[in-house]
Amino acid sequence: DAKTTQPNSMESNEEEPVHLPCNHSTISGTDYIHWYRQLPSQGPEYVIHGLTSNVNNRMASLAIAEDRKSSTLILHRATLRDAAVYYCILRENYGQNFVFGPGTRLSVLP
Amino acid sequence: DAGVTQSPTHLIKTRGQQVTLRCSPKSGHDTVSWYQQALGQGPQFIFQYYEEEERQRGNFPDRFSGHQFPNYSSELNVNALLLGDSALYLCASYGRPGNTIYFGEGSWLTVV
């Protein structure tokens, strides 16, 4: 079973920030937090990952709670192309495979 | 630099038939995993291949088998197809452990 819980769906307006939450209360010290997204009719695409500190890249930011039991993926300015299913996944250090949950379906309104 | 490529993109099979799906990993990657994604659900891990051997396996029956070739490409075979095998089959690859895992676009299998 997936070790993360996410809302089934969220909605955002175009060009506004989006905060996608994820709970992972049973996270272990060696689990990395990974986010992938899946656009319609495509395979999952890497977004960002982190261990303890907040992380930023060109796609998004990842805010990790101090106790690491939750995290938030932040899209700073949502575009229509960001409409996708977003998966929050725990990956054991050097773990080789993912256990996916159902993810959060993000809709972006023009 | 080509990413993970899969073929065919779509196919239709009849119950009881056998199917082979193919995957070429991203350049420089030597480990390949296969996932099954039913409509509306997240991908489910089938198995992983490294050094031409199955290293890990998810909760899938023996009807699902695979192979990895010396060039690191891989095949997924499914025998005695059932209607419930209709899904998107994803291939993923990575190089060194801990590195980012990349997914292909998938092969859509419909069993009628």
3-state secondary structure at position B61: coil
Mutate to test the interface with B, among A34, A98, A105 (most CBs of B within 10 A): A98
Report angle CA A22, A94, A102 to the nearest 5 degrees: 30
Interchain CB contact of B48 with A (< 8 Å): yes
Interchain CB contact of A42 with B (< 8 Å): yes
A1 vs B16, which has greater pLDDT? B16
Report angle CA B47, B49, B54 to the nearest 5 degrees: 70
Mutate to test the interface with A, among B6, B93, B103 (most CBs of A within 10 A): B103
Buried b (16+ CB within 10 A) or exposed e, B1-17: eebbebeeeeeebeeee
Confidence of residue A91 (pLDDT cuts 50, 70, 90): confident
Interchain CB contact of A99 with B (< 8 Å): yes
The confidence score (pLDDT) of residue A31 equals 87
For residue B108, give how far its alpha carbon lies from the nearest alpha carbon of chain A (Å). 9
Q: Show residues of chain A in contact with B31, CB under 8 Å.
A: 96
The confidence score (pLDDT) of residue B19 equals 98
* pLDDT tens string A26-50: 888 888 899 999 998 899 999 999 9
Give the phi and the psi of residue B84 in degrees, each rounded to 5.
Answer: -70, -10
Confidence of residue A2 (pLDDT cuts 50, 70, 90): low
* pLDDT tens string B38-84: 998 999 999 999 999 999 899 999 999 999 999 999 999 999 999 99
- A79-92 average pLDDT score: 92
A31-38, strands of its sheet edge to edge: A9-13, A104-109, A84-92, A31-38, A45-50
* Interface touch B42/A43, C-beta < 8 Å: no
* Interface touch B43/A100, C-beta < 8 Å: yes
* Interface touch A96/B94, C-beta < 8 Å: yes
* pLDDT tens string B24-48: 999 999 999 999 999 989 999 999 9
* Interface touch A100/B100, C-beta < 8 Å: no
Structural contact between residues B54 and A96, judged by C-beta atoms closer than 8 angstroms: no
Find the closest chain B residue to A85 by CA distance. B42
Is the model's pLDDT at A109 over the cut of 90? Answer: yes
A29: region left, alpha or beta (phi > 0 left; psi from -120 to 50 alpha): alpha
Please tell me the distance from the alpha carbon of residue A100 to that of residue B7, in angstroms, as a whole number. 23
Residue type, B79: N
